[in-house]
Amino acid sequence: MSTVVLQAPWARAAADVSEPAQPPVVSAELAPYRDKLAEGRRLTREDGLALFGVRDLLGLGRLAQWFARRKHGRTVYYVNNGHINYSNYCTLSCAFCSFYRRKGKDRRDGGYEMNLEQVFDEAGKIYARGGTEAHVVGGLHPDFPFEYYTEMLRGIRARYPKLGLKCFTAIEVYHIAGLKKLSVGETLQALKEAGLDSLPGGGAEILDDRLRDVICKGKETSAEWLDLHRTAHRLGLPSNATLLHGHYETLEQRIDHLLQLRALQDETGGFLAFIPLSYHPEHNSLKVEHGPTGMQELRMYAVSRLLLDNFPHVKSYWIMLGLATAQLALGYGASDMDGTVLQEKIYHMAGASTPQALSVDELHHLIEETGGVPVERNHLYRRIRRGSGGPLDWDIEA
């Protein structure tokens, strides 16, 4: 397997709207962590656990925002993108998931699958609106062949060469590999040759095998999830990482999850963004009454930002947070608001009441209200320059 050293253009994200580098004034309980970070020292497992318990949540937010602004100034990135959820048929039955259906075996309505022409139509809609990224994920389909996935990428790439293709979670890639009994390296290489640009962060859930057995039995192990991302990074495919929180997990499990991501990022430098995902409890079999509260979500954002010191971005995913909390998350360490997100299904089937898309103007407004400066990016965090010739008149800034 050839190893490519990532040039990491995203890591150069310029602090173009600079902020004073002075660390913030914080309460006594936060001062030791502020001093440690200001001296460029790393937070430990114990520090992470302690931050989950501090009383001064506002101060914690100030610290996380300072940390994010030290990397990016007041810039807040967003992407003009769309989701294509090509099918929700899945051979797994994760207890937290409201999206999946068992093909031919499920008594519930709502199972669907798209043929490739339908996928290309969806990609066309994203591109025609000025989209620069398609986020493509689905269930582990019981009978689509290997070529469904490679031809999907090839077909989108041929029709819309400029569209960034962020496709398939680590779990889907394992499934695709199994269809031809290929290694993950061979599979990722084949997907890359067909047009894949990067991987989304899904499927990580919680990187603790005992808990995985409860909430997503049958899914690959924590080590396998990490190993797939390691292989992707080595092949020059950057990726994201997620953590599903607000179900049965302990604070220790959350911290250990973050530390495993941090260690892999030290090794490869291939992660672009981390996205904390709040558990949505509707229409699934996991017996949890409600997901995290707003305060718990903000604390999760701040602790993630401070612990994942080597991740360029923490992403405020408004679809899952709701617009109000997504704005607040920008004050708790997030530096990216994801995107316009046409046609998201996974969260909406789990009870999310957010809209299914935002316009660029709405995103600008939401970001500017927080004191952030919106900057449009592509799937690799390269800046986009728009001309006056309509939605297709865009380019990546040199």
DSSP-derived 3-state class of residue 245: strand
- The Cα 269–Cα 288 span in angstroms is 35
DSSP-derived 3-state class of residue 205: coil
Nearer to ligand V47 (CB atom), residue 55 or residue 283: 283
Nearer to ligand V47 (CB atom), residue 196 or residue 346: 346
Among 67, 144, 225, 279, binds ligand V47 (CB under 6 A): 279
Minimum CB separation of residue 388 from ligand V47 in Å reads: 30
Nearer to ligand V47 (CB atom), residue 60 or residue 170: 170
Distances (CA, A) of 107 to 93, 136, 347: 14, 26, 21
Nearer to ligand V47 (CB atom), residue 177 or residue 216: 216
x/- binding map, residues 358-397, to ligand V47, per CB under 6 A? ----------------------------------------
Only one of the segments 30-38, 46-54, 122-130, 278-286 lies at the binding site for ligand V47 (rule: CB under 6 A); that segment is: 278-286
**Residues with Cβ within 8 Å of residue 254, at least 6 apart in sequence:** 52, 206, 243, 245, 300, 303
Only one of the segments 48-56, 119-127, 194-202, 226-234 lies at the binding site for ligand V47 (rule: CB under 6 A); that segment is: 194-202
Which residues in 243-272 contact ligand V47 (CB under 6 A)? 244
Is 98 a binding residue for ligand V47 by CB under 6 A? The answer is yes
**Residues with Cβ within 8 Å of residue 135, at least 6 apart in sequence:** 81, 82, 83, 84, 166, 167, 200, 341
Nearer to ligand V47 (CB atom), residue 98 or residue 150: 98
Is 165 a binding residue for ligand V47 by CB under 6 A? The answer is no
- The Cα 360–Cα 372 span in angstroms is 15
Q: Where are the alpha helices (DSSP H) in 160-245?
A: 170-180, 184-194, 209-215, 222-234
Q: How many CB atoms lie within 10 A of CB 167?
A: 26
In the numeric block, which tokens belong to residue 144?
């689509």
Is 140 a binding residue for ligand V47 by CB under 6 A? The answer is no
Residue 210: Cβ-neighbour burial (10 angstroms; 0-12, 13-18, 19+): exposed
Give the interface size with ligand V47 as a residue count (CB under 6 A). Answer: 21
- The Cα 154–Cα 74 span in angstroms is 37
Among 73, 202, 238, 374, binds ligand V47 (CB under 6 A): 202
Only one of the segments 8-16, 19-27, 142-150, 240-248 lies at the binding site for ligand V47 (rule: CB under 6 A); that segment is: 240-248
Is 26 a binding residue for ligand V47 by CB under 6 A? The answer is no
**Pairing relationship of beta strands 384-386 and 394-396 according to DSSP bridges:** antiparallel
Is 280 a binding residue for ligand V47 by CB under 6 A? The answer is yes
- At position 95, the amino acid (one-letter code) is A
| Size (the chain), residues | 398
Is 340 a binding residue for ligand V47 by CB under 6 A? The answer is no
Nearer to ligand V47 (CB atom), residue 30 or residue 366: 366
Is 96 a binding residue for ligand V47 by CB under 6 A? The answer is yes
Is 84 a binding residue for ligand V47 by CB under 6 A? The answer is no
Among 13, 84, 97, 302, binds ligand V47 (CB under 6 A): 97
Among 82, 139, 200, 374, binds ligand V47 (CB under 6 A): 200
Among 65, 187, 242, 340, binds ligand V47 (CB under 6 A): 242
User: Nearest to ligand V47 by Cβ — which residue?
Assistant: 202
In the numeric block, which tokens belong to residue 350?
């789990």
- At position 379, the amino acid (one-letter code) is H
Q: Is the dihedral of CA 119, 123, 126, 132 positive or negative?
A: positive
**Residues with Cβ within 8 Å of residue 120, at least 6 apart in sequence:** 155, 156, 159
Q: Give the single-character DSSP code of 382.
A: P
Is 277 a binding residue for ligand V47 by CB under 6 A? The answer is yes
DSSP-derived 3-state class of residue 134: strand
- The Cα 139–Cα 90 span in angstroms is 4
Nearer to ligand V47 (CB atom), residue 275 or residue 342: 275
Minimum CB separation of residue 231 from ligand V47 in Å reads: 17
Which residues in 42-71 contact ligand V47 (CB under 6 A)? none
Is 317 a binding residue for ligand V47 by CB under 6 A? The answer is yes
Among 13, 140, 346, 367, binds ligand V47 (CB under 6 A): 346
The residues that touch ligand V47, with contacts defined as CB under 6 A, are 96-99, 200-203, 205, 240, 242, 244, 275, 277, 279-280, 284, 317, 338, 346, 350
